[in-house]
Amino acid sequence: MRRLNIRWRLTLWFGAAMILLLLIRSFWIYFIMDWRTTLHTDSQLNLDISAISTQLRTADDRSQLVQALNQYVMRHAAAEVKVKGPDNSVIFSYAPGQDVRSPSSTKEPQGHEKWAHFTTETPNGRRRAVSGQVPSSIGNLSIELSLSTQDRRDEVLSFALTLFTTLPFVFAAALGVGYFVSSRALTPVDKMISDAQRITGLQLNQRIAVPESRDELARLARTLNEMINRLHQSFEDMRRFTADAAHDLRTPVTALRTAVEVSLMADHTTEEYQASLHTILDEAIHLSQLTSQLLDLSREDHGAKSGVSEPVRLDELIAIATADLQLAAQKKGIAVETVQMPPLLVSGDPIRLRRVFMNLLDNALQYTPCGGNVQIKGGPLGDGALITIIDNGPGIPEDELPHIFDRFRRVDKSRTRQGGGTGLGLAICKAIVEAHGGRIHMDSAIGYGTRVSVELPGYQADASKELPSDND
């Protein structure tokens, strides 16, 4: 059954359900008709036996009794009558066929009702009988009266047979109707399959036609289209990322090649060779930065979420990052001060979190002009922590802010390139912070400076009451 397609499975289920229902209905009709025949015959027998017993009660002697019974059987030739006297001798007996009651199929009269009804099987078919005691002038008479129910039974049986013999035709018709209905219902699915087969990685701008109905299939088509939208977006992001990466890799490689070619073209002075080697070194450093950043991003993309998660003292981690960058800050004459930083415990990977704050502080130092200042503030936010890094650098234009966390996004490409920027630092920060369940946000005003806020969820274990210290 599982190998069949849905269309045939539905058809067979429909056919089988129809057959089952018809069988139940046929049996139901048969039993109801049989029961009604018995009920009808019983009420006829009640009427007859009441009439006979009235005549028997009023008869003066035995001959009048027999006469009354004879009159009855003349009017009811199909009836079988047997009357016994008080001494159990048969006073009157009339039978269209000889009674050979089969004990197994005969229901004996039950209870102490006035008239007891039962069924007998005779060679001429089934009979329904009634028996009882009637007082008469010659004493108590036992009377038994029966009518044939065979004709009605034959009718019921032939009706039931007709119902059963039509079952194969009904089954065939049910299969036909089932196949037609399921085909109609599944036509939109066929259409969706052929639409989906047309869509490849190169044609993700195509969509599945949504059926006009407002049913589950229309919902399925819409859901698939939403999924294709998301895939399309991811494909586009990946394509752009690859193109940007290729472009950014090509620039330093070209610069390297040019520097080497120029050096080899003619003899140069030692100073000229040194200058060339410096250029080569700069480009090599840039290339190595770029490749390691690409690697970081690719790690974040491939679920670094499931990486290390341990209690991290954020205040201590930031203090170390600030100390590491102090020399660069001093060189530029930039004052880096931590204005507020209570102990803060978050949960995460200390190496990746350190990379976030190193990148952000590096940006603040890199883009803030000499003599500027950078402030670092930290404080609790709900269960977690909020860290803000504020500089009084050139700021970022308003239209750039929404895209500032995109990969390879640089505001001033020439300026950044000189400083060795690849435009991946903030994208890496965002990926790491979000993988930790946090948020990163940037505000800026041209000419005033930039503020980056990082929210991180806190460490949830009881250990948070006693903050661990790196000095411990």
The answer to whether residue 244 forms part of the interface with ligand ATP (CB under 6 A) is: no
Looking only at residues 429 through 458 of this chain, which bind ligand ATP when binding is defined by CB under 6 A? 450
Q: What gap in Å lies between CA 304 and CA 99, rounded to an integer?
A: 95
Q: Which long-range contacts (CB under 8 A, 24 or more apart) does 19-26 make?
A: 19/167, 19/170, 19/171, 19/174, 22/163, 22/167, 22/170, 23/167, 25/163, 26/160, 26/163, 26/164
User: Which CB, 313 or 430, lies closer to ligand ATP?
Assistant: 430
User: Which CB, 363 or 375, lies closer to ligand ATP?
Assistant: 363
User: Which CB, 211 or 425, lies closer to Mg ion?
Assistant: 425
User: Which CB, 144 or 391, lies closer to Mg ion?
Assistant: 391
User: Which CB, 341 or 396, lies closer to ligand ATP?
Assistant: 396
In whole angstroms, the minimum distance from the beta carbon of 396 to ligand ATP comes to: 5
The answer to whether residue 120 forms part of the interface with Mg ion (CB under 5 A) is: no
The answer to whether residue 404 forms part of the interface with ligand ATP (CB under 6 A) is: yes
User: Which CB, 82 or 355, lies closer to ligand ATP?
Assistant: 355
Size of the residue set binding Mg ion (CB under 5 A) = 2
Q: Which one-letter DSSP state was computed for residue 466?
A: S
Q: Where are the alpha helices (DSSP H) in 199-269?
A: 216-265
The answer to whether residue 363 forms part of the interface with ligand ATP (CB under 6 A) is: yes
Count the helices and strands in the chain (H runs, E runs). 10, 12
Looking only at residues 381 through 400 of this chain, which bind ligand ATP when binding is defined by CB under 6 A? 391, 393-394, 396
Binding mask 423-442 for Mg ion (x = CB under 5 A): --x-----------------
User: Which CB, 80 or 391, lies closer to ligand ATP?
Assistant: 391
The answer to whether residue 365 forms part of the interface with ligand ATP (CB under 6 A) is: no
User: Which CB, 129 or 297, lies closer to ligand ATP?
Assistant: 297
DSSP 139-181: EEEEEEEEEE-HHHHHHHHHHHHHHHHTHHHHHHHHHHHHHHH
Q: What gap in Å lies between CA 129 and CA 287, rounded to an integer?
A: 110
Collapse the DSSP code of 428 into the 3-class scheme (helix H, G, I; strand E, B; otherwise coil) and give the result: helix
The answer to whether residue 348 forms part of the interface with Mg ion (CB under 5 A) is: no
In whole angstroms, the minimum distance from the beta carbon of 241 to Mg ion comes to: 17
Q: Are 112 and 169 in contact (CB under 8 A)?
A: no
In whole angstroms, the minimum distance from the beta carbon of 190 to ligand ATP comes to: 49
Q: Which does 316 bind (CB under 5 to 8 A by kind): ligand ATP, Mg ion, none?
A: none
- CA dist list (Å): 247 to 48, 204, 255: 111, 24, 13
The answer to whether residue 37 forms part of the interface with ligand ATP (CB under 6 A) is: no
Q: What gap in Å lies between CA 238 and CA 244, rounded to an integer?
A: 10
What residues does 340 pair with on adjacent strands? 377
Looking only at residues 172 through 201 of this chain, which bind ligand ATP when binding is defined by CB under 6 A? none
Nearest to 183 by CA among 401, 366, 14: 14
Q: Are 453 and 381 in contact (CB under 8 A)?
A: no
User: Which CB, 220 or 249, lies closer to Mg ion?
Assistant: 249
Return the number of other C-beta atoms located less than 10 Å from residue 256's C-beta: 18
The answer to whether residue 375 forms part of the interface with ligand ATP (CB under 6 A) is: no
Q: Are 171 and 144 in contact (CB under 8 A)?
A: no
In whole angstroms, the minimum distance from the beta carbon of 275 to ligand ATP comes to: 24
Q: Binding segment for ligand ATP among 25-33, 94-102, 318-326, 357-365 (CB under 6 A)?
A: 357-365
The answer to whether residue 361 forms part of the interface with ligand ATP (CB under 6 A) is: no
Binding mask 281-320 for ligand ATP (x = CB under 6 A): ------------x---------------------------
The answer to whether residue 347 forms part of the interface with Mg ion (CB under 5 A) is: no
In whole angstroms, the minimum distance from the beta carbon of 278 to ligand ATP comes to: 19
What are the residues whose beta carbons fall under 8 Å from the beta carbon of 260, sequence distance 6 or more? 276, 280
Q: Binding segment for Mg ion among 219-227, 276-284, 357-365, 390-398 (CB under 5 A)?
A: 357-365
Q: What gap in Å lies between CA 189 and CA 139, rounded to an integer?
A: 86
Collapse the DSSP code of 109 into the 3-class scheme (helix H, G, I; strand E, B; otherwise coil) and give the result: coil
Q: Binding segment for Mg ion among 290-298, 358-366, 400-408, 432-440 (CB under 5 A)?
A: 358-366
* Main-chain dihedrals φ then ψ at residue 110, nearest 5 degrees: -120, 155
Instruction: Give me the residue label for tokens 């931590």.
Output: 338
Which residues of the chain form contacts with ligand ATP (CB under 6 A)? 293, 359, 363-364, 367, 391, 393-394, 396, 404, 409-412, 416, 421-427, 450
Residues that bind Mg ion (CB under 5 A): 363, 425
